[in-house]
Structure 1
Amino acid sequence: MNPAYQALPLLDNTYDQQFELEVADATALVQYQLHHQYLSLIHTEVPAALQGQGVGSALVEKVLRQADERHLTLIPLCPFVARYLHQHPEWYRLVAPGYRPANA
């Protein structure tokens, strides 16, 4: 993770069902649905001004860390999250078995 984003807090906006990361007066977000211990990650959105700077990856990593701390099982429906997991297979341990690749 880019060190510039490490200290930024991840906000769990339960009202809108999204995790939010504020960077330079803009907000990147991951929309989710929580059902018991299952956290479905539905959509990731990074404002155009922040794209290409590692904000989306930092956001997803923070979400994964929080899910791990809360002992949640992930259902990665968002293509961006799925790509991140493919690049960081150590996080597949959090993913529901039916959503992991065959070799994970």
Structure 2
Amino acid sequence: MNKVRENRAEQEFELDVDGHRAIAAYQREGERIVFTHTVVPREIEGRGVGSKLIRAALDSARDQGLRVVAQCQFVAAFIRKHPEYRDLLG
């Protein structure tokens, strides 16, 4: 599996796997990052792609000192399952 990268021009975190691209879309609002939706193509579902993508995105938010707004259900569920990221919410 490749490395997650941030595409600031498109406001997405991206992960390419086997010719398919998963994305976590966001909007920056000052010191907040609002995750709006996550897309993992059906062909690469069930392989931990979404979790790897969101973990990297949240780690990036932490590194940048950003507060996270989880409008995306996938991001919200990930944070519920991984309490070590709950401190980012706000």
TM-score (norm: length of structure 2): 0.94
**Mind listing any 5+ residue stretches in structure 2 that lack a counterpart?**
none
Q: Which residue of structure 2 lines up, in the alignment, with residue 29 of structure 1?
A: 23
Task: Say if 2:41 is the partner of 1:58.
Answer: no
SS in 2 for 1:75: strand
1:1-56: CA deviation from partner (whole Å, max 9, x where unpaired): xxxx4xx3222112211110111121100010001110000000001111011100
TM-score (norm: length of structure 1): 0.82
SS in 2 for 1:40: strand
Name the amino acid aligned to 1:48. R
Q: Tell me the number of residue pairs that the alignment of Structure 1 and Structure 2 aligns.
A: 90
**Mind listing any 5+ residue stretches in structure 1 that lack a counterpart?**
97-104
C-alpha RMSD of the superposition: 1.0
Work out which of the residue numbers 13, 29, 33 in structure 2 matches 1:19.
13
- Structure whose CA Rg is larger: 1
SS in 2 for 1:53: coil
Q: Percent identity?
A: 33
